[in-house]
């Protein structure tokens, strides 16, 4: 693979509660060098990022909804989703209602995704299930709900709760195969991990900015162009 191909699989992010504007500026400078798919920040920083579209032709901006808990009211999530679209985001990642999923309220979980998808359409909606908080049975159910609700991607986590493992990927793939693309977030901190997960069928990665830049440096050190 080339460095460009690696970068084109990565959503680079600074979405911790303590993420600073200086860190986001680092991401923006990196995106001017590497063609990362999307830049993600906490919602309060979106307005500061938008003007950089004038300087970085390939800049795509992601918005997050219900992040990181997923437990907000539907009305709150719909407002946030609408706001992210109206501000000019190119993609939206939402956290499904984890508590309702674990309570077996599967119809409500699906209906929420469908309503948020309708609000952000035609933007792609990626839906986060937070695999480290779920049993294999819950991961299977969530994967099918996300697919059947019409989301663009199943996403494993926020990166706040812990790392996605190869086992998590295997469970998701057993549930939905290649019928919906898979985005992994949480714990991808090396080029070798990214490549192994790509070979398992992962097509997108959400990676914190320090790890993402470290992966790009690894690729350069290996002589990739």
* Per-residue pLDDT tens over the stretch 70-124: 999 999 999 999 999 999 999 999 999 999 999 999 999 999 999 999 999 999 9
102 assigned to active site: no
Residue 145 and residue 126: Cα distance in Å, rounded? 12
Q: Which residues pair with 62 in a beta bridge?
A: 40, 91
pLDDT at 94: 98
Strands 125-128 and 61-65: unpaired
Residue 56 pLDDT grade (very low, low, confident, very high; cuts 50, 70, 90)? very high
pLDDT at position 205 over 80: yes
Mean of pLDDT values over 38-66: 95
Mean of pLDDT values over 58-68: 96
Choose the catalytic residue: 85, 126, 144, 183. Answer: 183
pLDDT at position 212 over 80: yes
Q: Average pLDDT of the chain?
A: 96
26 assigned to active site: no
155 assigned to active site: yes
Cβ pair 84, 63 in contact under 8 A: yes
Residue 57 pLDDT grade (very low, low, confident, very high; cuts 50, 70, 90)? confident
pLDDT at 224: 87
Choose the catalytic residue: 93, 110, 117, 126. Answer: 93
Contacts of 41 (CB under 8 A, 6+ apart): 13, 14, 15, 19, 24, 27, 49
Mean of pLDDT values over 10-20: 95
pLDDT at 58: 87
pLDDT at 1: 83
Cα angle 79, 120, 27; round to 5: 90
Cβ pair 188, 210 in contact under 8 A: no
């Amino acid at each position: 693979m080339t460095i460009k191909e690696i970068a084109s699989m990565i959503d680079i992010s600074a979405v911790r509660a303590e993420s600073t504007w200086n860190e986001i500026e680092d991401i923006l400078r990196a995106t001017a060098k590497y063609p990362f798919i999307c830049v993600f920040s906490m919602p309060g920083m979106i307005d500061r990022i938008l003007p950089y579209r004038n300087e970085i032709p390939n800049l795509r901006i992601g918005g997050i909804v219900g992040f990181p808990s997923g437990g907000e009211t539907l009305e709150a999530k719909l407002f946030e989703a609408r706001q992210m679209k109206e501000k000019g985001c190119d993609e939206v990642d939402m956290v499904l209602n984890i508590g309702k999923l674990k309570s077996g309220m599967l119809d409500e979980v699906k209906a929420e995704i469908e309503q948020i998808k309708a609000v952000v359409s035609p933007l792609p909606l990626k839906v986060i299930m937070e695999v480290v908080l779920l049993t294999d049975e819950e991961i299977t159910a969530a994967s099918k709900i996300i697919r059947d609700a019409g989301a663009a991607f199943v996403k494993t986590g926020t990166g706040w709760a812990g790392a996605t493992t190869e086992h998590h990927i295997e469970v998701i793939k057993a549930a939905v195969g290649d019928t919906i693309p898979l985005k992994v977030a949480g714990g991808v901190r090396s080029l070798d991990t990214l490549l192994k997960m790509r070979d398992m069928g992962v097509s997108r990665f959400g990676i914190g900015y320090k790890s993402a830049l470290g992966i790009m440096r690894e690729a350069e050190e290996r002589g990739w162009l």
